[in-house]
Amino acid sequence: MEPRPLHRRTLLLAALLGGAAPALSGCISSLQAFNALAPKDGAGERIAQGLAYGDHTRHRLDLYAPRERHGPAPVVVFFYGGSWRSGDRGEYAFVGRALAANGFVVAIPDYRLVPEARFPAFLEDCAAAVRWTQTNIAAHGGDGARVALMGHSAGAYNAIMLALSRRWLDGAGANPVRGAVGLSGPYDFLPLDVPATRAAFGDAPELELTQPVRFARGDAAPIFLAWGAEDDLVGRRNIESLTRAQREAGGPVESRIYPDLDHAGTLLALSVPFRGRAPVLADAIDFLRRVAA
10-64: per-residue pLDDT in tens?
Answer: 444 555 444 333 333 334 447 889 999 999 999 999 999 999 999 999 999 999 9
3-state secondary structure 13-64: HHHHCCCCCCCCCCCCCCHHHHHHHCCCCCCEEEEEEEEECCCCCCCEEEEE
In a domain, 231, yes or no: yes
Give me the CATH number covering residue 86: 3.40.50.1820
Amino acid at 192: L
Burial of 65: CB neighbours in 10 Å, binned 0-12, 13-18, 19+:
buried
Give 291 or 18, the one with higher predicted confidence. Answer: 291
Whole-number Å distance between alpha carbons of 149 and 147: 7
Q: What's the DSSP call for residue 174?
A: P
Rounded to whole angstroms, the Cα distance separating 193 from 215 reads 21
Mean pLDDT of 184-207: 97
Mean pLDDT in residue range 112-130: 98
Q: Side chain identity at 99, as an amino acid letter?
A: L
**Whole-number mean pLDDT of the chain?**
92
Kindly give, in sequence order, each residue whose CB lies less than 8 Å from that of residue 113, ignoring residues fewer than 6 positions away. 58, 82, 84, 85, 86, 87, 122
Is 94 domain-assigned? yes
Structural domain tally of the chain? 1
| Position 4 in a domain | no
Instruction: Give the C-alpha separation, 82 to 242, whole Å.
Output: 21
Beta bridge partners of 105: 75
| Assigned domain for 27 exists | no
- Flag whether 2 is in a domain: no
Cα 212 to chain centroid, rounded: 15
The answer to the question of residue 139 being in a domain is yes
Asked whether the predicted pLDDT for residue 110 surpasses 60, the reply is: yes
pLDDT score for 10: 43
Q: Is the pLDDT of residue 139 over 60?
A: yes
Query: Has residue 15 been placed in a domain?
Result: no
Give the global pTM: 0.92
Please list, in sequence order, all residues whose beta carbon lies within 8 angstroms of the beta carbon of residue 266, skipping any fewer than 6 positions away.
152, 183, 184, 226, 227, 228, 231, 258, 278, 280
**pLDDT score for 70:** 86
Q: Give the model confidence (pLDDT) of 198-245 as tens digits.
A: 999 999 999 999 999 999 999 999 999 999 999 999 999 999 999 999
Structural domain containing residue 178 = 34-292
pLDDT at 39: 95
Residue 14 maps to a domain: no
Instruction: Check residues 29 and 70 and name the one with the higher pLDDT.
Output: 70
Rounded-to-integer distance, Cα 207 and Cα 196, Å: 15
**What are the E-state strand segments in the chain?**
44-52, 60-66, 73-79, 105-109, 142-152, 180-183, 223-228, 253-258
Give CA angle at 255 (187, 120), nearest 5°.
25
28 Cα distance to chain centroid: 14
